[in-house]
Amino acid sequence: MCSKESESVKQKIFKGSGVAIITPFTEDGINFEELGRIIEDQIAGGTDAIVITGTTGESATMSDEEHRQAIKYAVEKVNKRIPVVAGAGSNETAYAVELAKHAEEVGADALLVVTPYYNKCTQNGLVAHYNKIADSVDIPLIVYNVPSRTGVNIKPETYLKLSKHPRIVAAKEANGDLTSVLRTRALCGDDLDIYSGNDDQIVPILSLGGLGVISVLANVAPKVAHDICQLYFDGKVKESAKLQIEYTDLIDALFCEVNPIPVKTAMRLMGYNVGGLRMPLSEMEEANLNLLKSSLKQHKLIC
């Protein structure tokens, strides 16, 4: 049984800030040249891991071929400098297994697997789903809990069951409920690492023993997201919290419309050739765009 007193032998995927990286598009597909530029800028900015084909990367509107190509490209471009975590979630377990196997084959270091959406399976269904995927590969898996998008929330007791699998090593927790994170930590201890899935909760989750964040903010401010974590790990808790607070306005602006609309718009304003948003996502409303521009200017990310 998972116990906070037991010494974990599970693999640590990364510690710090993993960027939930956007996907730049052309009219015909992925702009790999620009994706490469973004990856290089992320590594130079101190990002601790690249998380490809997640929600922020618009994986929901990628074709199967694009999804696989993006993972393969990211792995080759990063070339083991930092870990690459591949989004491999689906509401169909069999397809999630296919994606997971492909990610492993092309060299991804770990998987990020969102809870099945729309089907809205039970807690027992979640355990079966994740165990099936984890059984199909030999690389570690991060469970992604984001009930605002999927309609499914993972309970702490379910995390306890999941943590018994040797390859289910972490959770990206984006349910916004710090009490739930506390209970999960109490039940699982070091047998299940926790990454914040919300940029406004990095320090609170670190204070509960979290290992870092999978960050949208890192797309536009990789050093900031990294430093919030690193300052905390270095024992500079007040400085870490101060930096988190300083960027509250930008975090809010990046979520003033559904992610990734604002962050992709922000990167376009910063000079990245990210292309358009895939429908049904739409361009920002004028008032929200002005808010985003103001925040980016305040933090000297645009002129």
Could you list the active site residues?
144, 172
CA distance 164 to 168: 8
47: CB partners within 8 A, 6+ apart: 17, 18, 19, 82, 218, 222, 225, 226
β-pair partners for 214: 18
What phi and psi, each to the nearest 5 degrees, are found at residue 273? Answer: -90, 75
CA distance 303 to 17: 26
CA distance 108 to 110: 6
1: CB partners within 8 A, 6+ apart: 164
Amino acid at 52: I
Rounded to 5°, angle at Cα 68 from 64 and 72? 170
Smallest CA-to-CA distance from 292 within 242, 231, 250 is with 250
Under 8 Å between Cβ of 29 and 205: no
